[in-house]
Structure 1
Amino acid sequence: MLIYPHPRPRRLLLQRLLPGLCAFLLLLLAPSCREISDKKEIKLAHSLEVSHPVHQAMLYMAERLKEKSGGTLSIGIYPNSQLGSERESVELLQIGSLGMTKVSAATMESFSPNFKVLSLPYIFRDKAHFFSVLEGEIGQELLTEGEQYWLRGLTYYDAGSRSFYTASKPINTPDDLKGLKIRVQASNTAIQMVNAFGGAATPISTGEIYTALQQGVVDGAENNPPTFHLSRHYEVARHYALNEHTMVPDILLVSTKVWEKLTPQEQQWLQEAAEESAVVQRKLWQEAEEEALREVKKAGVEVSYPDKEPFAKMVEPLYESYKTEPEVYSLIKRIQAAGKNPQAQPAP
């Protein structure tokens, strides 16, 4: 005899689940800048873990904004890709369904093309040069340039230097990359760079990298030390060569559709809180880099420091390839000249 389950437990289960499902749907449909009486809340989503320095800086920004506005303007933060991937978050900003997000400059080049200049290998001589460009005229131009695409940059976050890590063999010279499949971001600049080194650039989404390394779909990848550590990629890629080929910053974005709804005073509070959070994030980032390298070394990863000069020489032709894009080529020349002397930055 067949015994059918009583429908009552199913009804009870649905009754328990329904409020949570409704709350989730309401969250997705909620406006990006919600007004509650005389208060406003901006929704900020990103793909990072809560232990990441950028998330910690965002928490600081939210607290400072609350203090500056006397509680009338706040930020609701949704980490860990709760509201979508990095690219999806940017697209939500463009239509005004999301208020703010963090995006890599490498991803941003798909939305605002001139950002590709920040992803060029060895375009920055050192950290001092990097920060002087971002904080100067060039960096500020790029932040506001995205407004024509409904994306306003508020500030830059330090994302360190990206370097190669591999599963099978160490990378000591560019020749060691020949024939290796290297995972890169969905960035034409990153693809051109790896191919220039003789590798085979393979764009794969962030969430698939660990399995791709484990199963040999790719031979290696490239990223900064904290991400290499927090993603646990060091468990399947035991060689980390700090050749530091790129310094690609993160960018804190706000939807222009949300920005324009704020009063001038609210815009000022938000801008100030964002810039203050960037100062905090730099300090947190430096600490995270030091800790990450300690931990992966402790886990048995072979960390090497190859000579950067041969790598830099091999990608120099990439700069000249942008002569067909006058705006980008002008930015390259201005960045290269920046910091060498007070009159170094020619007009656009």
Structure 2
Amino acid sequence: MKKRGMALGLAAVMALSTLLAGCGTGSTQATGTQGAGGTAKTVELKFGHVLSQDSHFQVMADKMAELAAAKSNGTIKITVFPQSQLGGDSKMIQSMRTGVQALSITNQASLVNTVPELTIFDLPYLFDSIDQANKVLNGPVGQKYLDLLPQHGLIGLGYMSVVERNVFANKAIHKPGDMKSLKLRTMQAPGHIKAYELLGTQPTPMAYSEVYLSLQQGVVDGGDTPPDQFIMDKFIEVAKFYNMTKIHYLPLILTMSKMQWDKMSPEQQKTVQEAAKEALAFQTEYYKKEYHDSLEKMKAAGVKVIETDVNALKEQTSKAYDVILKDIPNGKQLLEEIEAAKKQ
């Protein structure tokens, strides 16, 4: 009987050991930090964005995936899904908040319903240049807005280069009067719409995917987009003029699901943040070249690049400030902080 009891006990111990060993292997999506024997588990992160595989969004995402894999010895795996494969901006924001998706590049205008303070960047002519905007956003002022995200289920890992939105149309715009009655597709953002109204246009929010056909059919007269997207989305085929109106500089935020961030170990979080920082710096330099190359491609294709009287447009849109600021929490204070940072 003693021998039989000892044999049963030994079998039970061996079975339990096998079960525990089996539980300590495999991969996870931002869960667990170590496998059996102290080896790090693989963390798999989905990274979605709305632009094509030829875009600077993809360049940044690929760079981050490469850096994260190298820094983690292959245990952090980022898979990139371009061209809205995981949905549009709004859907991806919700997917990150619920922990379904890990990462995305989110434009500021898509976040204003979640973080109303970000509406401050809807102000027309808030910045004078891409470099100035990037400097402010990558300083203490920009960090202030990233710090607002965790309470909404998101982590802000940093800023990509802002993009300068200019008006493309089948008409040259030299001065404010040239914009009168133009029907322009705009982003669904109160500040953008108000600015274009003050310039005498008919702002027409619509899905970005509909703009090409709408312009081709005369439903709209034009829209606003950065130089690279004008080329990439083939507006070069349906618009004769690209007008350097420089009304808005749109911030782009590298966002991550807080739920998935919290499931990672401190070491994994540090690795992801370091990879993000280096990839964002790489993208900022890459975008400078892409911006200028895109303007040259337009000219080579016969599109007229017009140097618009920006000062005249700026004066006419200044009336939008009071209207926009009154709906932003502590709007005037936020504007003062940005103005002060621009002078540093």
- TM-score (ref. length: structure 1): 0.85
1:329 counterpart letter in structure 2: K
Alignment partner of 2:261 out of 259, 262, 270: 259
In the TM superposition, structure 1's runs of 4+ consecutive aligned residues that sit over 3 Å from their partners are: 31-37, 323-326
Q: Label 1:289 to 1:324 Cα distance change in 2 as closer, same or farther (>3 A).
A: closer
Aligned to 1:72: 75
What displacement does 1:34 show? Answer: 6.7
1:233 counterpart residue number: 235
Q: Distance in 1 between matches of 2:234 and 2:137?
A: 30
Task: Spell out, residue by residue over 1:185-243, the C-alpha distance to the aligned partner (whole angstroms, 9 max, x if none).
Answer: 12111111111111111111111110111111111100110001100012111111112
CA contact (8 A) 1:220 1:237 kept: yes
Match of 1:119 in 2: 122
Q: Answer whether contact 1:214 1:236 (CA < 8 A) is retained.
A: yes
Distance 1:132 1:236, change over 3 A: same
Bigger Cα Rg: 2
1:61 maps to which residue? 64
SS in 1 for 2:247: strand
SS at match of 2:339: helix
Partner of residue 215 from structure 1, selected from 195, 214, 217? 217
The structure 2 residue matched to 1:307, chosen from 297, 306, 309, is 309
Match of 1:144 in 2: 147
Equivalent pairs, count: 311
1:74-133 CA-to-partner distances (Å, cap 9, x unmatched) read 211111111111221111111111111111112121221111112321111333431221
Inter-CA distance 52–315: structure 2 relative to 1 (3 Å threshold):
same
Gaps of 5+ in 2: 1-27, 36-40
Alignment of 1:242-321 (within 5 A): 242-321=244-323
Separation (CA, whole Å) in 2 of partners of 1:296 and 1:338: 34
Residue 337 of structure 2 corresponds to residue 334 of structure 1: yes
Given that residues 33 and 40 in structure 1 are in contact (C-alpha distance below 8 angstroms), is that contact kept between their aligned partners in structure 2? yes
The match for 1:199 is: 201
The answer to whether the Cα contact below 8 Å between 1:161 and 1:224 also exists between their aligned partners in 2 is: yes
Instruction: Determine what percentage of the aligned residue pairs are the same residue.
Output: 30
2 CA distance for matches of 1:125 and 1:276? 26
Q: What is the alpha-carbon distance in structure 2 between the residues aligned to residue 237 and residue 148 of structure 1?
A: 43
Contact 1:159 1:285 in 2 (8 A): no
The one-letter code matched in structure 2 to 1:226 is: D
Instruction: Please state how far the C-alpha of 1:32 moved relative to its aligned partner.
Output: 5.8
The answer for the alignment partner of 1:94 in structure 2 is 97
Q: Partner of 1:71: helix, strand, or coil?
A: coil
SS at match of 1:242: strand
Shift of 1:289: 1.2
Q: TM-score, normalised by structure 2?
A: 0.86
- The corresponding residue for 1:106 is 109
Cα contact 1:129–1:338 (8 A) shared by 2: no
Q: Does structure 1 conserve the Cα–Cα contact (< 8 Å) formed by 2:31 and 2:263?
A: no
Q: Sort the Cα spacing of 1:326 and 1:95 in 2 relative to 1 into closer, same or farther, 3 A.
A: closer
- 2:327, 2:89 → 1: CA distance? 29
Find out whether 1:49 has 2:52 as its counterpart.
yes
Unpaired stretches in structure 1, ≥5 consecutive residues = 1-30, 342-348
| Counterpart-to-counterpart distance in 2, 1:266 and 1:244 | 40
Name the amino acid aligned to 1:132. K
Q: Is the 8 A contact 1:34 1:42 kept in 2?
A: no
Which amino acid is the alignment partner of residue 268 of structure 1?
Answer: K
CA RMSD of aligned residues (A): 1.8
